[in-house]
Amino acid sequence: LGMSAGTIWQKRFASGGDLVAATKWQYVGGASVMVLASLAFETRTVVVNGELIFAMAWLVLVLSIGAIFLLMLMIRGGEMSKVASLFYLVPAVTAVIAWILFGEQLNLVQIVGMAIATLGVGLATAQPTKNQPTRARASR
């Protein structure tokens, strides 16, 4: 719900702004909420090890900086419905990454589901070909 509202707000009011500044303010807002939640619910104990460092590097560099910057570029340059439809690929891509990196097994139902989601996203984001007839609009 928050991402949908933020995407609509950005497309309508801030689509021409600086992407780095917009990303910074999104993280300031998100971090503010998470700091309050962590102070209220967490133990404040951190064990620094290789897994934590790898996870933090992945979360910061790939997901936070890379993915959000890419999302903002897509919002700026495209239709929101097409950008939003790409979110349906997240579970499939995550499952494939888990299969590659961690040896997770994929069953037939999961593979068929990924294929259906991928086909749906492809249909939703496809550009019309030049051979398709355009609909005539009624004049006013």
Q: Is the predicted pLDDT of residue 33 greater than 90, yes or no?
A: no
Same-domain check for residues 124 and 87: yes
Same domain flag for 84 and 62: no
pLDDT at 111: 96
Domain match, 63 and 121 both = no
Distance CA 52, CA 127 (A): 42
Q: Which domain holds residue 57?
A: 1-78
CA distance 78 to 21: 20
Report pLDDT for 104: 93
pLDDT digits (tens, 9 = 90+) for 55-106: 999 888 888 778 777 777 877 777 777 777 888 888 999 899 999 989 999 9
Same domain for 22 and 91? no
Contact 27, 95 (CB under 8 A): no
* pLDDT band at 3; cut points 50, 70, 90: low
For residues 16 and 51, state if they share a domain.
yes
**0.75 exceeded by the pTM?**
no
Q: How far apart are CA 119 and CA 122, in angstroms?
A: 5
Per this entry, what is the length of the chain?
140
